[in-house]
């Protein structure tokens, strides 16, 4: 017999649906993503730490669970809400179903509600907290106060790696079915095609990193060493990196005071740097800029990012609830991309150092691949700095 499950929002609104996944009552920040595919990548993206994720696409789980497509070691979402989930997935790569995966990960799910109506509420009222529970209490007031008090803390600490891990460029872990082997964009250079070039040593600071960041660097002939979020700048620079990568990650960027201080040292060192998502925000904060929480953020695989130098728009994957305040950037920093929908800052280029960053995900998996060229730009920047150093 199907069991009832409820979503109670902090404003008192209730959505009654059916339970799947793990059996537990959890509180989290309710957010929505508009991605039509890539639900496995969403579930394993550390940037969703502490959040109850709502999928706007109505049917989820139809291609099952494919471990090779995971973007981290586990699922970091607090809860998962869909209109319908597929109980009989069909895909030659699938190794299980969504319900079993959520149970194994300890993630409660809710289905059978009007996810469009819920999304409209979040869009109109802004991101709010909520709780998934199997029974509603007779007295709501105490529970609503508890929901409102929920905050996401120590998000980076709880998603980052705890040890240094090296990923040589010639030991790239390719999925059993690699879409890039079939649909190779003009901007993608695979590791075997780059074998004649100089191998670059890149340190990737894991702030809640997705696996595909390291893979994209490996494809371009980079040896990647992933280090924990709290690694000191002196230790990173002692590794003599050709470049430093700052990953995506969850939570309020301004909370990471100690990390920001270390990033400031790294930026001032003159080593080429590339920041993505949270890394983009922390770079801005380390340079004296401000960040602010957005009404409902950008989450999905169809966000338009406009490059200001030529007006070209790229369709990008995004997952963030905070943004850099463009007007707060110092004189040596220029906004390079804006969101074509709301004009928020989507990229920054620093003119005093070989450093740049973007709010969106050029490593997007399961796509789109429009902005993958930014990894090429990073490799070119490292090569340029290396040549100038020799001169």
Q: What CATH code is carried by the domain that includes residue 109?
A: 3.50.30.20
CA distance 210 to 161: 11
Mean pLDDT lowest for which of 49-58, 172-181, 375-384?
Answer: 172-181
Kindly report, residue by residue over 290-322, the tens digit of the pLDDT. 999 999 999 999 999 999 999 999 999 999 999
Q: Is the pLDDT of residue 352 over 80?
A: yes
SS3 310: coil
- Tell me what the mean pLDDT of segment 372-378 comes to: 96
Cα 50 from chain centre = 13
Cα 355 from chain centre = 20
SS3 319: strand
Range of the domain at 98: 4-152
Last residue of a domain, one of 152, 169, 193: 152
Mean pLDDT lowest for which of 167-176, 243-252, 364-373?
Answer: 167-176
Q: Is the pLDDT of residue 177 over 90?
A: no
- Tell me what the mean pLDDT of segment 233-256 comes to: 98
Q: Is the pLDDT of residue 110 over 70?
A: yes
Q: Is the pLDDT of residue 189 over 50?
A: no
Residues 34 and 14 in one domain: yes
Residues 293 and 318 in one domain: yes
Residues 169 and 68 in one domain: no
Q: What is the pLDDT of residue 197?
A: 63
Burial class of residue 290 (count of CB atoms within 10 Å of its CB; 0-12, 13-18, 19+): middle
- Tell me what the mean pLDDT of segment 157-170 comes to: 94
Residues 336 and 204 in one domain: yes
Residues 195 and 134 in one domain: no
Which position has the higher pLDDT, 369 or 179?
369
Residues 25 and 114 in one domain: yes
Last residue of a domain, one of 127, 152, 177: 152
Residues 351 and 230 in one domain: yes
State what percent of residues in the chain have pLDDT above 90.
88
Q: Is the pLDDT of residue 188 over 50?
A: no
Q: What is the pLDDT of residue 173?
A: 65
Residues 302 and 347 in one domain: yes
Number of structural domains (the chain) is: 2
Residues 42 and 168 in one domain: no
Last residue of a domain, one of 105, 133, 152: 152
Q: What is the pLDDT of residue 390?
A: 56
Kindly report, residue by residue over 269-295, the tens digit of the pLDDT. 999 999 999 999 999 999 999 999 999
Q: Is the pLDDT of residue 105 over 60?
A: yes
Q: What is the pLDDT of residue 365?
A: 83
**CATH code for the domain in which residue 254 is found:** 3.40.50.880
Q: What is the pLDDT of residue 195?
A: 40
- Tell me what the mean pLDDT of segment 213-217 comes to: 96
Q: Is the pLDDT of residue 255 over 90?
A: yes
Residues 133 and 164 in one domain: no
Of 281, 237, 241, 277, the C-alpha closest to 259 is: 281
Q: Is the pLDDT of residue 1 over 70?
A: no
Q: Is the pLDDT of residue 245 over 80?
A: yes
Kindly report, residue by residue over 34-91, the tens digit of the pLDDT. 999 999 999 999 999 999 999 999 999 999 999 999 999 999 999 999 999 999 999 9
Q: Dump the DSSP string for 190-229.
A: -GGGGTTSPPEEEEEE-SS--HHHHHHHHHTTEEEEEE-T
Residues 82 and 94 in one domain: yes
Residues 190 and 327 in one domain: yes
Please list the active-site residues: 277, 361, 363
Question: What does the mean pLDDT of the chain come to?
Answer: 92
pLDDT band at 165 (very low <50, low <70, confident <90, very high): very high
Q: What is the pLDDT of residue 169?
A: 87
């Amino acid at each position: 017999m199907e069991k009832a499950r409820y979503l109670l929002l902090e404003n008192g609104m209730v959505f009654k649906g059916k339970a799947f996944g793990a059996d537990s009552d959890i509180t989290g920040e309710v957010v929505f993503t508009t991605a039509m595919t890539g639900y496995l990548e969403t579930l394993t993206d550390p940037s969703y730490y502490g959040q109850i994720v709502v999928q706007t696409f109505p049917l989820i789980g139809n291609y099952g669970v494919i471990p090779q497509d995971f973007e981290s070691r586990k699922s970091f979402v607090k809860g998962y809400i869909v209109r319908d989930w597929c109980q009989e997935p069909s895909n030659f790569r699938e190794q299980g179903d969504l319900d079993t995966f959520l149970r194994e990960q300890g993630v409660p799910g809710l289905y059978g509600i009007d996810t469009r109506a819920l999304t409209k509420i979040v869009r109109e009222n802004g991101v709010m907290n909520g709780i998934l529970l199997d029974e509603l209490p007779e007295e709501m007031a105490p529970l609503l106060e508890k929901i409102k008090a929920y905050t996401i803390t120590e998000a980076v600490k709880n998603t980052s790696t705890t040890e240094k891990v090296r990923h040589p460029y010639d030991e790239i872990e390719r999925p059993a079915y690699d879409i890039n082997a079939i649909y190779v964009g003009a901007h993608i250079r695979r590791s075997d095609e780059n074998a004649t070039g100089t191998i670059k040593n890149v340190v990737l600071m894991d702030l809640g990193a997705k696996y595909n960041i390291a893979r994209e660097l490996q494809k371009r002939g980079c040896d990647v060493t992933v280090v924990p979020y709290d690694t000191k700048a002196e230790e990173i620079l002692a590794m003599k990196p050709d470049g430093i990568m700052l990953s995506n990650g969850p939570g309020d960027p301004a909370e990471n005071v100690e990390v920001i201080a270390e990033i400031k040292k790294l930026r001032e060192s003159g080593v080429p740097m590339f920041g993505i998502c949270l890394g983009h925000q922390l770079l801005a904060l380390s340079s004296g800029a401000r960040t602010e929480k957005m009404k409902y953020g950008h989450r999905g695989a169809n966000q338009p990012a406009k490059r200001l130098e030529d007006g070209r728009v790229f369709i990008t994957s995004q997952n963030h609830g905070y943004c850099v305040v463009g007007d707060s950037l110092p004189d040596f920093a220029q906004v390079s991309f804006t969101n074509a929908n709301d004009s928020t800052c989507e990229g920054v280029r620093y003119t005093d150092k070989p450093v740049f960053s973007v709010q969106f995900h050029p490593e997007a998996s399961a796509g789109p691949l429009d902005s993958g060229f930014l990894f090429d730009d990073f490799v070119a920047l490292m090569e340029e700095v290396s040549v100038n150093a020799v001169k």
